Amino acid sequence: MAHMIKPQIILLKDGTDASQGKGQIISNINACQAVVSIVKSTLGPRGMDKLIEEGNGTTITNDGATVMKKLNIVHPAARILVDISKAQDNEVGDGTTSVVVITGELLKEAKHFLEDGLVAPQIIKGYRTACNLAIQKLMDMAVDLKEKSAEEKRAMLIRCAETTLNSKLVADYKTFFAQMSVDAITMLGDDLSVSSVGIKKVTGGSVTDTLLVEGVCFKKCFSYAGFEQQPKRFENAKILLLNLELELKAEKDNAEVRITDPDQYQSIVDAEWNIIYEKLDLIAKSGANVVLSRLAIGDLATQYFADRNIFCAGRLEVEDLERTRRATGAEVQTTAQGITPSVLGSCGLFEEKQVGAERFNFFTKCEKTKTATILIRGGAQQFIDEAERSLNDSLMIVRRAMKNTKVVGGGGAIEMELSRYLREYARTISGKQQLVINYFARALEVIPMTLAQNSGADGTKVLNQLRQKHAAAGPEGRWFGVDCMNCTVCDAFQNYIWEPVLVKESALNAATEAACLILSIDETVKNPQSEKPQAGPKGKGKGKGMGMPMGKGRGRGARVLKG
């Protein structure tokens, strides 16, 4: 008697798509490969740029995190690559393309294993082991420049910044921007918060007209009549920061007044004027000669301050107000009552100057300076936007390198050395793990290979030269990497192609975690968009499968698969 197969019931909503098994993992890997192929060509000094067109304009960039973000990827597994590039950008600032490329190569190698019948958990175990070994070797190889003199440390920071800027649109001015990045971070003292460095963009002029301001500067705010009568320069300025609206309309917005006699209306108008004049008198008596507010400062207040030789500006950006607070030592006030000299800030020089077609307010010579502002100049808006992204990466690298003074050779040198080390380790163990670790080592070679290919060199030839150098030369040859300019190999450390060890550590960890995460997903369940039920008592809604107890309602809540 034939064995009866029981019907299998899946409690999923009608229209739900469920894919599973090895085919699902390979499908996810293929989706990730498609994304990697887009950003791969942006890697290195000779990498190409991407032009991404959106509804609000076009973006030209070769920054991995920006490309990934602008692509608007919808595939759930491929979105993991977007997340790791964003995490790398937030944590370190550089290596955003590398982390995506390494993840893609690890998945490519894993795909061959899966097709040959190796289960995903075995691959994940091998990858994690290889990553731990690689990080340990990375730390052992890193060169610590902690004991160097101040001049040597500064030179090290400039070289790390130059290595970052090599692959950017502003590579022709890398020394100029690298020195500016180091100077900007140095101005922050012990507080190495990147938000303390403001970046402002002004179209026009040459890129070498870019300024570094020791202090704060921002574009002239929206101003009312009477603004031009105010003084535009103060030495030893006293600064008052407000989060307060100084306009007549403010009082009537906050209250409701009912009158029985029309003659009372004038007394209400007079009361409003008295309230705002009281605020203005208190501010004028505080001794401040520069008044800045996050909210509007109206025409009455503007003229009032102009008559008393006080400069005012309203509607400041929150970031500008915060950086002014850090630079001048002022405390933001939410009321005009009780303003004491202790809450006022100070700066050696305040002035309003013309920069290109814009007017900017500059606060410089601040004793408590913990801020810096970079004023980027350039031709096209797209160029300035990309210069800003490049500078952000450079600033992040300098900040990280200042905290962690260990560096390694760039240009694919460290990846080749880690690859060699892992291959040697793989020979000392047996079983399937030997194969997985060996292929992890091979995946790391994608960085020098891609650098060579993007430079127009013969990737296979350059890779073979690097393997030979790293295998034969011992400790002296471990820093050989790709010379992208001359399409050959060179000693990256001797040629000052340096990268902070933190960049490589973060990239390896993130890439391995992402690859393991994608390999561990063996089923994807896509739920159809829920429809809102029409109004009605619970249990009687007319939406699809909604509001009904399970098991009722003509089978909408379940699919029955008969064996």
In a domain, 563, yes or no: no
Q: What is the pLDDT of residue 386?
A: 87
In a domain, 414, yes or no: yes
Is pLDDT above 50 for 563?
A: no
Q: What is the mean pLDDT of residues 538-558?
A: 41
Burial 429-450 (b: 16+ CB within 10 A, else e): eeeebebbbbbbbbbbbbbbbb
Q: Which of the four pLDDT bands, split at 50, 70 and 90, describes residue 4?
A: low
Task: Take residue 307 and report the two structure tokens written for it.
Answer: 């008559």
**Do residues 174 and 105 share a domain?**
no
Instruction: Tell me which residue of 494, 474, 492 sits closest to 483, measured CA to CA.
Output: 492
Q: What is the pLDDT of residue 105?
A: 93
Instruction: Tell me which residue of 500, 501, 388 sits closest to 162, measured CA to CA.
Output: 500
59, 63, 373, 450: which is the annotated catalytic residue? 63
Q: What is the pLDDT of residue 424?
A: 92
Is pLDDT above 60 for 153?
A: yes
Q: What CATH number is attached to the domain comprising 289?
A: 3.50.7.10
Any idea which of 124-128, 434-438, 496-500 has the lowest mean pLDDT? 496-500
96 is catalytic: yes
Is pLDDT above 50 for 548?
A: no
- Give the position of tokens 């979105």: 79
Percent of the chain with pLDDT over 70: 87
Is pLDDT above 60 for 557?
A: no
Q: What is the mean pLDDT of residues 69-94?
A: 87
Give residue-wise pLDDT tens across range 446-504. Answer: 999 999 998 888 889 999 988 888 888 666 678 888 988 888 898 888 888 888 888 89
Give residue-wise pLDDT tens across range 330-371. Answer: 888 888 888 888 888 888 888 888 888 888 889 888 877 678
**Do residues 328 and 261 share a domain?**
yes
Query: Are residues 507 and 99 in contact, defined by beta-carbon separation less than 8 angstroms?
Result: yes
Q: What is the pLDDT of residue 554?
A: 39
Is pLDDT above 80 for 18?
A: no
Burial class (CB in 10 A: 0-12, 13-18, 19+), 235: exposed
Any idea which of 177-181, 492-496, 547-551 has the lowest mean pLDDT? 547-551
**Do residues 357 and 391 share a domain?**
no
Domain residues for the domain of 113 are 17-144+409-519
Q: Give the best-scoring range by mean pLDDT among 58-67, 117-126, 137-146.
A: 117-126
Query: Are residues 164 and 395 in contact, defined by beta-carbon separation less than 8 angstroms?
Result: no
89, 320, 385, 393: which is the annotated catalytic residue? 393
Residues sharing a CB contact under 8 Å with residue 132, sequence separation 6 or more, in sequence order: none
Q: What domain count does the chain have?
A: 3
Instruction: Tell me which residue of 200, 242, 235, 190 sits closest to 220, measured CA to CA.
Output: 200
**Do residues 49 and 78 share a domain?**
yes
Is pLDDT above 90 for 130?
A: yes
Residues sharing a CB contact under 8 Å with residue 29, sequence separation 6 or more, in sequence order: 107, 108, 110, 111, 518
Q: Give the best-scoring range by mean pLDDT among 38-42, 56-60, 269-273, 338-342.
A: 38-42
371 is catalytic: no
Distance CA 482, CA 413 (A): 7
In a domain, 547, yes or no: no
Percent of the chain with pLDDT over 90: 16
Is pLDDT above 60 for 550?
A: no
One-letter amino acid at 165 equals: L
**Do residues 223 and 358 share a domain?**
yes
Residues sharing a CB contact under 8 Å with residue 3, sequence separation 6 or more, in sequence order: none
Q: Which of the four pLDDT bands, split at 50, 70 and 90, describes residue 300?
A: confident
Give residue-wise pLDDT tens across range 522-538. Answer: 877 776 665 444 444 44
In a domain, 531, yes or no: no
**Do residues 286 and 185 share a domain?**
no
Distance CA 397, CA 500 (A): 7
Is pLDDT above 60 for 539?
A: no
Q: What is the pLDDT of residue 8?
A: 55
**Do residues 30 and 140 share a domain?**
yes
In a domain, 528, yes or no: no
Q: What is the pLDDT of residue 558?
A: 37
Q: What is the pLDDT of residue 443?
A: 93
59, 66, 96, 373: which is the annotated catalytic residue? 96
- DSSP states along 444-487: HTHHHHHHHHHTTS-HHHHHHHHHHHHHHSGGGGTTEEEETTTT
In a 3-state reduction of DSSP, which class is residue 268?
A: helix
**Do residues 47 and 174 share a domain?**
no
Is pLDDT above 80 for 253?
A: no
In a domain, 2, yes or no: no
In the predicted model, what is the mean pLDDT of the chain?
Answer: 82
Q: What is the pLDDT of residue 19?
A: 62
**Do residues 306 and 170 share a domain?**
no
Length of the chain: 563
**Do residues 193 and 283 share a domain?**
no
Give residue-wise pLDDT tens across range 255-268. Answer: 677 778 777 778 87
**Do residues 475 and 500 share a domain?**
yes
Q: What is the pLDDT of residue 136?
A: 94
Q: What is the mean pLDDT of residues 310-325?
A: 88
- Pick left, alpha or beta for residue 72 (phi over 0 → left; psi -120 to 50 → alpha; otherwise beta): left
Strand partners, 290: 239, 311
Q: What CATH number is attached to the domain comprising 501?
A: 1.10.560.10
Q: What is the pLDDT of residue 529?
A: 64
**Do residues 135 and 168 share a domain?**
no
Q: What is the mean pLDDT of residues 64-84?
A: 87
- DSSP states along 77-136: TTHHHHHHHHHHHHHTSS-HHHHHHHHHHHHHHHHHHHHTT--HHHHHHHHHHHHHHHHH
Residues sharing a CB contact under 8 Å with residue 42, sequence separation 6 or more, in sequence order: 48, 49, 50, 62, 63, 64, 67, 97, 167
373 is catalytic: no
Instruction: Tell me which residue of 283, 398, 402 sits closest to 333, measured CA to CA.
Output: 283
42, 97, 103, 328: which is the annotated catalytic residue? 97
In a domain, 527, yes or no: no
In a domain, 1, yes or no: no
253 is catalytic: no
Is pLDDT above 80 for 44?
A: yes
Give residue-wise pLDDT tens across range 102-114. Answer: 999 999 999 988 8
Q: What CATH number is attached to the domain comprising 186?
A: 3.30.260.10
